[in-house]
Structure 1
C-alpha cells in the first residue's frame, strides 16, 4: 500500500471548531498530544483529510500544518521526545482478508 507518514498539527481559535477537528483527526490517525496527530495515509486519504479540514477551519483565524515524512514503511523519523510519553511511528494495521 502506498502510504506516507504525516504529522498533522493545528491551532484552532474556536473551541467548537477545535473539537470538530479533533474528532475528524481521530478517524485518520493516532493522537500524539494536544493538537498533534501522526497519520499513515494514501494520497487519496490525505486529499480527503485536507478537503475536510478545509471545510471546517476559518482560514483567517485557524492554522493547520501537514508535514510529509515520506513513505511510511521506509521512514525512520529522528525524534527527540522529552517527558513521560515516548514517540513511536504509527505502524500499519494488519489486513484481514
Structure 2
C-alpha cells in the first residue's frame, strides 16, 4: 500500500530537535522524503503497523503531531505535483 506520512515536531528544545531527527530517520526506513516533513512510503500491512508503532513511540503526543494517509491505488492517478518533484519510483527501471 502507498501511504503519506506528514509530521510536525516541536523543535523549541534540544529534545524536540532530537525527536525530529528520529521521526525523519524512521520515515526514511520505509519511504522517501518528498517535502521537508512529508514522506511517501510503499509498505506491506505488517510494515505499516511497525512504522506506526515506531512513530508513536518516538514523538511526544503533547507537543508533536503525525498524520498518516493511505493513498488510493494507483497512486499516480491521484497525485498532482506542481513545481519540483523529487519522487523516484523505484518500481520502474532506473536509467543512469
For the aligned pair, the TM-score class normalised by the smaller chain equals 0.7 to 0.9
List per-residue Cα deviations over 1:65-96 (Å, max 9, x = no partner): 1100134xx3334333233x1265744378xx
TM-score (norm 2): 0.78
SS in structure 2 of the partner of residue 80 of structure 1 = coil
Q: Structure 1: any 5+ residue segments left out of the alignment? A: none
- How far, CA to CA, are the matches of 2:86 and 2:81 in structure 1? 6
Match of 2:2 in 1: 5
Q: How many residues are paired up?
A: 88
* Higher helix proportion: 2
TM-score by length of 1: 0.78
- RMSD of aligned Cα (Å): 2.1
Structure 2 gaps of 5+ residues are: 11-15
